[in-house]
Amino acid sequence: MKIILIGAGNVGWHLGCRLRDCGEKVVQVFSRNLLKAKELGAEIQAASTHRLDDISPDGDLYILAVQDDAIREVAEKLASKGLNKKLIVHTSGATPMTVFADVLERYGVFYPLQTFSKKRQPDFSGIPICLDARLEQDREDLAVLAKKISREVYQVSDEQRAVLHVAAVFVNNFTNHLFNIGHEILEKEGLPFDLLLPLIRETVGKLEDGTPAEMQTGPAVRADGSTIQRHLHFLEQYPDYQEIYRLLTESIGQGRSK
Amino acid sequence: MKIILIGAGNVGWHLGCRLRDCGEKVVQVFSRNLLKAKELGAEIQAASTHRLDDISPDGDLYILAVQDDAIREVAEKLASKGLNKKLIVHTSGATPMTVFADVLERYGVFYPLQTFSKKRQPDFSGIPICLDARLEQDREDLAVLAKKISREVYQVSDEQRAVLHVAAVFVNNFTNHLFNIGHEILEKEGLPFDLLLPLIRETVGKLEDGTPAEMQTGPAVRADGSTIQRHLHFLEQYPDYQEIYRLLTESIGQGRSK
């Protein structure tokens, strides 16, 4: 299967490297940024281009690892080059597969459920690949490819993927923001954030032993009003964080009463 | 140093085991619950009692690993037994050292900054021990003891510990609640929570590479209004979680504009 990789950002970079490591043939890399295209092309021994017009028509699979709002535009461009009968997928958690519906015939999704950053090497073998395709044969082909790069392969509908994406925002983006609040509060008192790292690691480690609801601890679930009041009083200097504290404490309390 | 351990809950249990593992002498364990006292006593080869009156007057250090609202009561009881010149500490992040001020002469805090659960074996060597004492000599003695059980020993004032405790609620209790929200949303769609575990682990793993602010990703920090609107629309069936989504998204957005 000759793969054309469109996009050389964090997802494109790590997916390209993983495909190469697993013996798959990425024949060409596209990025609007010429340097990025060349860099990834060199890394995975693929041709590179920064012009959509120069994208090869000889691919079997086109993977669009581009920003959500560029998916439609790239698909239209590929269609206008007569590639509308090729299998074209995007890698987005947030965009329905139907973004391709009226311009392509064979299309799908190949969504690795992970947060990627350039500097960090992900352990791809455990990353869930959530895939889908309009045609059954394409779904099967994508599953074969996905199983080469990961142990965790799921067929996931647009509706399910949308839910996964909302949940991912809670457990990743919002969790990171809570870490940021902890960081900011400690920094102001001259305390190192590292003090919290063992606690943070254990918060995640405990998920091995039960559901998050079973693992809930702290003043909110104990209905420890005097501690909550003391915390709210301290947070008066951070009105945004006070509001977040209040709302999350209430929400945990509602779980308690269920 | 002969140690009397008062409380056999999660903190008392793991602290007792760690002290034993490091060659320290816990001579007696107290718990209101006779079975718990006996169980921990047997585990760490210490005497046990469930009567406050039977607490030994021969200890050098009394560690109160009891609930916050019991600390004062136990201290008064020990004082009434003539132990007010003994070194007595509590293990709470939420309670100021001054809880002891008018009943004891030598008192302090010995706070392991971690979340403990009975079933999980903590790696105690990396747990920050935040300590303090009224008298300098007691502070030094507590530091010697703390360094035997952990690499991470800090002298932390009441004010700093109060801030640490607020931050711990954000990064531990509230983070766990976000995991719970992810769990609930996925469960309703028949999707396994395990799909999110690699993402959750990586959210924490990325803290090795930079501050949480530098690591922030997602629709809120990108100001991706159409994704945010789609998520809010989905969350209409979960009004509490919709409100949490809105507030955290706003808060992340304010960080963006800093």
Q: How far is A141 from chain B (nearest CA, A)?
A: 22
Q: Which amino acid is at B8?
A: A
Q: Which residues of B touch A179 (CB under 8 A)?
A: 170-171, 175, 207, 212
Q: Indicate whether B256 pLDDT > 90.
A: no
CB contact under 8 A, B175 and A178: yes
CB contact under 8 A, B216 and A173: yes
One-character DSSP codes across A148-186: HH-S-EEE--HHHHHHHHHHHIIIIIIHHHHHHHHHHHH
pLDDT digits (tens, 9 = 90+) for B114-154: 999 888 889 999 999 999 999 999 999 999 999 999 999 99
| Mean pLDDT split into 10-residue runs, chain A, 258 residues | 96 97 97 97 98 96 96 97 96 96 97 92 95 98 98 96 97 98 96 97 95 94 93 97 98 79
Q: Does A186 touch chain B (CB under 8 A)?
A: yes
Q: Report A:139-168 residues touching B (Cβ under 8 A).
A: 152, 154, 156, 159-160, 162-168
Q: What is the mean pLDDT of residues B214-219?
A: 92
For A9-18, give one letter per residue: b (16+ CB within 10 A) or e.
Answer: bbbbbbbbbb
Q: What is the mean pLDDT of residues B184-202?
A: 96
pLDDT at A118: 83
CB contact under 8 A, A180 and B220: no
CB contact under 8 A, B164 and A195: yes
Nearest CA in chain B to A115: B199
Q: By three-state DSSP, how is residue A26 classified?
A: strand
Q: How far apart are CA A164 and CA B155, in angstroms?
A: 43
Q: How far apart are CA B110 and CA B148, in angstroms?
A: 13
Of B128, B197, B221, the CB nearest to A198: B128
Q: How far is B97 from chain A (nearest CA, A)?
A: 15
CB contact under 8 A, B174 and A248: yes
Q: Which residues of A touch B159 (CB under 8 A)?
A: 189
Q: How far apart are CA A15 and CA A21, in angstroms?
A: 10
Q: Does A214 touch chain B (CB under 8 A)?
A: no
